[in-house]
Amino acid sequence: MIVSLEAEILSFLSEPLEDQFEPLALRIFDYQRRENLPYARYCKFLGTPQRVGSWKKIPGVPQQAFKRSELRSFPVGRTRAEFRTSGTTGEGHGKHLFLSLRLYEAAVQRGWDFFGLPRQSFILLMQHPDDAPFSSLCRMGGILADFRRECFLVTQNGCFELDRLRESFIDRERPLTLFGTALSFLNLFEQAPDLQVEMPPGSIIMETGGFKGSGRDMQKNELYELFSRHLGIATDSIWNEYGMTELSSQFYSNGINRPHRAPPWMKFLIIDPNTNQEAVPGEVGLLRIVDLANLWSVLAVQTQDLALARPDGGFLLLGRDPGALPRGCSRAMDELLQLARN
Amino acid sequence: MKLDDRIEAVASAAASYPWLGDLTAESILRWIKLELGRFLHEANPQEYGHHHCLVQALSPILHVVSGNTPHAALQSLIRGIVVGAQNWMKLPEGGLPEVDEFSLKLPAALRPELADHLNQSWLQDAEAIVVFGTDETIHQFSRRLLPTQRLLAHGHKISFGLIRIPFDRNVVNGAALDVFVFDQLGCLSPQLYYVAGDSVGFASLLATRLEELCRTTAVTTVREYEIASALRSCREEWKYRAATEPGVRVWESPGTLEWVVIHDPAPCLVPNPLYRTIFIKPMPSDLGSVLAPIRRHISTVGLHPVDRDSVELATRLGAQRVCQIGQMQNPPLTWHHDGWPTLASLVRYVDIEGWGASD
């Protein structure tokens, strides 16, 4: 049963048929509700009926749940891979467990190809997955770059290999794909303020992640100005990957203020936080994601990110600053707890 | 303007704001007498131990107030007027309409100067600066003041309740009121209750009472999306925990974000997005260590009962104020806001020795 469902999803990833999304999503939901005990308990708590009828009715597990439970849709003891969230909020790591990485690998590859992203000459501002086995991002980089160590420019100790990076820019004919977190790019520009090159024509930059927990902050247009200043690349050649450890697939956007779009095996809903129901079109709400490749955990994840659906089928990510919440003169407990932990 | 006239003016203006509490001319006089005896009334030096004393208002006073807290802003202004100071007030961006309205009810001579930006000369010339705000805001001001200027800093605070003996309906109703008012955004608003005994029962009754209050009082049912998303995320996380962790229970306003009561069997402190989000926890045996991270930031501890043992416990924990459950939001006019006298802190004492010796 497990193998056949995995094979069906793999097949969908290879040849997506829109009318097959919903039946497949509902079958995965049935399977996960049967095999994933914490998720089953959550569905029961919410009073979710046995047959939900629409992918939109599949309960999204809160992202934080990955920190509280082992959301595993397969027997204990058969875990083949584990990715962990960064734990930057001080509440410990969230865990995403896998029986197999076949779906994860396929989702990374097919998603990249779906958006026509170039695969040549990767420069990855991240550690090799052997040095960071619990990082889903490093694994993603490994999958894209065939795990070639020379593509990874962050050492086991977390230092940039700046000389190798500069060498990468010498050949002006070979287009490059430079991929890293926004924070890693910021650190790079601070450590190498004299870095000023022109990336070869056809090159792209893929940046991902925010600055959460780093004590840093920067608007996207400021970051993209830095890209332009240090790497001589136009905004149109800069992409953003929106993903998370709790998912197996990724959304992508290109340039500034453009929507993120999903590959065919992912869909999203904007949830009105006041009613916990789907928001009316044009309203800002919380992003809920359904990812068919998330067979081994839970396919529907309720994020804490605010977004706005666009008529073209994508969404504009608005992000969120919990620190900006008006609190009157009542002190934020988390701020003090964070201080105590430090 | 003479003291009696100032008192009358304040009492008259405050009559339109019942949420300011007991601010009649009589109560203001009692407050002055308690903190300053006859000093404010008399121009002549008053006997003070073996010498004499005069008081003079620190003047001008600069009040720096934050958003969402008109209550604190008006209290501070009233204190300044009562002691006889000239008052300047730096309002938050966007202003505080309650302060504008209150000022217009005062005689022109007592009206504060208001601005939503910081006038640099105010900062230089003020003899006392009262700041309400975050640690960062207070730090910024403290760095810019001279040692001779008096800084009265009211940082953000945490309040909570301790229910140490079996509760009755009055305690539940009182707790619901404490959570309900000001959207739980005040520094006196409880963020959690520790309950000895039937903590689940208390949580359940509190939920029922909060729902009753919401049905009988006009409340905000739809929140701006950033607030709503924080409340929704908190609620859904705790519902997941209720489904998967023993002892966690959630009661929530049906279909809205009006209120939520969360029972968490773990004693540890947890983040609270407020707006009527209240945590109920069983009373731990080592309350002191559990509350250690917030010790220096505690304002009010609501108690049941208010007896010697409970008061000693709350004081050891770091409380600035203790009161009955149900009275957390109603400090008396004479309370020591954040631990110091509110009028006496706004004057300077002039000690006079040998007064009358030459008569």
Which chain B residue is nearest to residue A91, measuring alpha carbons?
B270
- Tokens for A26? 């509902």
Q: How far apart are CA A327 and CA A340, in angstroms?
A: 21
In eight-state DSSP terms, residue B81 is: H
Q: Which of A242, A260, A278 is the last residue of a domain?
A: A260
Q: Give the pLDDT score at A202.
A: 92
The arithmetic mean of pLDDT across residues A94-121, rounded, is 96
Q: How far apart are CA A8 and CA B28, in angstroms?
A: 78
Q: Give the pLDDT score at A216.
A: 75
| Within-domain flag for B14 | yes
- Tokens for B29? 């006089």
Q: Give the pLDDT score at B43.
A: 81
Is the same domain home to A297 and A242?
A: no
Is the same domain home to A8 and A55?
A: yes
| Within-domain flag for B327 | no
Q: Give the pLDDT score at B41.
A: 84
Is the same domain home to A125 and A253?
A: yes
Residue A321 has pLDDT above 60, yes or no: no
Q: How far apart are CA A30 and CA A42, in angstroms?
A: 14
Q: Give the pLDDT score at A41.
A: 98
Is the same domain home to A245 and A269?
A: no
Q: How far apart are CA B4 and CA B353, in angstroms?
A: 28
Is the same domain home to A123 and A245?
A: yes
DSSP E strand boundaries for chain A: 61-62, 81-84, 95-98, 122-125, 177-181, 204-208, 238-242, 251-254, 266-272, 277-278, 284-291, 300-309, 315-317
Is the same domain home to A253 and A298?
A: no
In this structure, what are the phi and psi dihedrals at residue B243, rounded to the nearest 5 degrees? Answer: -75, -25
Is the same domain home to A164 and A253?
A: yes
CB contact A68 to B (< 8 Å): yes
Q: How many domains does chain A have?
A: 2
Q: Would strands A251-254 and A277-278 be described as parallel, antiparallel, or unpaired?
A: unpaired
Q: Give the pLDDT score at A213.
A: 64
| Within-domain flag for A285 | yes
| Within-domain flag for B324 | no
Is the same domain home to B313 and B299?
A: yes
Is the same domain home to B83 and B217?
A: no
Q: How far apart are CA A323 and CA B117, in angstroms?
A: 23
Q: Are the beta carbons of B240 and A61 separated by less than 8 Å?
A: yes
CB contact A90 to B (< 8 Å): no
Q: Which of A39, A318, A333 to mutate to test the interface with B (most CBs of B within 10 A)?
A: A333
Q: Give the pLDDT score at A298.
A: 98
Closest to B243 (Cβ–Cβ): which among A41, A325, A337?
A41
Is the same domain home to B99 and B219?
A: no
In eight-state DSSP terms, residue A189 is: H
Q: List CB contacts of B264: < 8 A, sequence separation 6 or more.
A: B238, B241, B247, B248, B270, B279, B280, B281
Is the same domain home to B105 and B214?
A: no
Is the same domain home to A79 and A43?
A: yes
Q: Give the pLDDT score at A325.
A: 62
Residue-range definition of the domain harbouring residue A256: 116-260
Which chain A residue is nearest to residue B229, measuring alpha carbons?
A273
Residue A89 has pLDDT above 60, yes or no: no
Which chain B residue is nearest to residue A339, measuring alpha carbons?
B293
Is the same domain home to B17 and B127?
A: yes
Residue B107 has pLDDT above 70, yes or no: yes
Is the same domain home to B98 and B177?
A: no
In this structure, what are the phi and psi dihedrals at residue B294, rounded to the nearest 5 degrees? Answer: -110, 5
The arithmetic mean of pLDDT across residues A164-171, rounded, is 84
Amino acid at A301: V
Which residues, listed in sequence order, are joined to residue A271 by a DSSP beta bridge? A278, A286
CB contact B283 to A (< 8 Å): no
Q: Give the pLDDT score at A314.
A: 95
Contacts by residues A272-275 (CB-CB < 8 Å, ≥ 24 positions apart): A272/B228, A273/B223, A273/B225, A273/B228, A273/B229, A273/B231, A273/B232, A273/B233, A273/B257, A274/B221, A274/B222, A274/B223, A274/B225, A274/B228, A274/B232, A274/B256, A274/B257, A275/B255, A275/B256
Residues of A in Cβ contact (< 8 Å) with B69: 328-329
* CA-based nearest distance B78→chain A, Å: 19
Is the same domain home to B346 and B273?
A: no
Residues of A in Cβ contact (< 8 Å) with B232: 271, 273-274, 276, 286
Q: Give the pLDDT score at B356.
A: 82
pLDDT, chain A, mean:
91
> Which B residues 216-245 touch A at CB under 8 Å?
221-223, 225-233, 236-237, 239-245
Residue A71 has pLDDT above 60, yes or no: yes
Of A240-249, A318-327, B74-83, least confident by mean pLDDT is A318-327
Residue A132 has pLDDT above 70, yes or no: yes
CB neighbour burial string for B167-179, b if at least 16 within 10 angstroms, e if fewer: beeebbbbbbbbb
Is the same domain home to B171 and B285?
A: yes
The residue with tokens 């160590």 is A149
Is the same domain home to B59 and B194?
A: no
| Within-domain flag for B182 | yes
The pTM (predicted TM-score) of the whole model is 0.91
* DSSP-based three-state secondary structure for A307: strand
Residue-range definition of the domain harbouring residue B23: 3-156+335-352
Q: How many domains does chain B have?
A: 2
Q: Give the pLDDT score at B178.
A: 96
Is the same domain home to A51 and A151?
A: no
Q: Give the pLDDT score at A332.
A: 73
Higher local confidence (pLDDT), A48 or A157: A48
* Residue B39 belongs to domain with CATH number: 3.40.605.10
CB contact A342 to B (< 8 Å): no
Q: Give the pLDDT score at B247.
A: 97
Q: How many CB atoms lie within 10 A of CB A316?
A: 15
Residues of B in Cβ contact (< 8 Å) with A317: none
DSSP E strand boundaries for A273-327: 277-278, 284-291, 300-309, 315-317
Residue A88 has pLDDT above 60, yes or no: no
Is the same domain home to B221 and B249?
A: yes
Is the same domain home to B199 and B306?
A: yes
The helix or strand, by DSSP H or E, that contains position B313, with its residue range, turns out to be helix B308-317
Which residues, listed in sequence order, are joined to residue A204 by a DSSP beta bridge? A177
pLDDT in tens, A154-165: 998 888 998 998
Is the same domain home to A208 and A222?
A: yes
Nearest-5° Cα angle at A271, A34 to A328: 120
| Within-domain flag for B359 | no
* DSSP-based three-state secondary structure for B194: strand
Amino acid at A199: M
For residue B293, say if its preceding peptide bond is cis, omega within 30 degrees of 0. Answer: no
| Within-domain flag for A101 | no
* Residue B226 belongs to domain with CATH number: 3.40.309.10
Is the same domain home to A251 and A283?
A: no
| Within-domain flag for B41 | yes
Q: What share of chain A is helix, strand, coil (3-state, %, to 5)?
A: 35, 20, 45
DSSP E strand boundaries for chain B: 46-48, 51-57, 61-64, 87-90, 113-115, 128-133, 150-155, 158-163, 190-195, 249-252, 260-263, 277-282, 298-304, 321-324, 347-352
Q: Are the beta carbons of A286 and B232 separated by less than 8 Å?
A: yes
Q: Give the pLDDT score at A331.
A: 72
Residue A234: exposure state from Cβ atoms within 10 A (0-12, 13-18, ≥19)? exposed
Q: Which of A199, A226, A260 is the last residue of a domain?
A: A260
Is the same domain home to B135 and B174?
A: no
Q: How far apart are CA B294 and CA B8, in angstroms?
A: 40
Residues of A in Cβ contact (< 8 Å) with B266: none
Closest to A273 (Cβ–Cβ): which among B66, B159, B228?
B228
pLDDT in tens, A247-297: 999 999 999 989 999 999 999 999 999 999 999 999 999 999 999 999 999
* Residue A216 belongs to domain with CATH number: 3.40.50
Q: Give the pLDDT score at A180.
A: 94
Amino acid at B321: R
Q: Give the pLDDT score at A85.
A: 87
Q: What is the CA radius of gyration of chain B?
A: 23
Residues of A in Cβ contact (< 8 Å) with B240: 42, 45, 61-62, 64-65, 68
Is the same domain home to A121 and A253?
A: yes
Q: pLDDT-based confidence at A214, cuts 50/70/90?
A: low
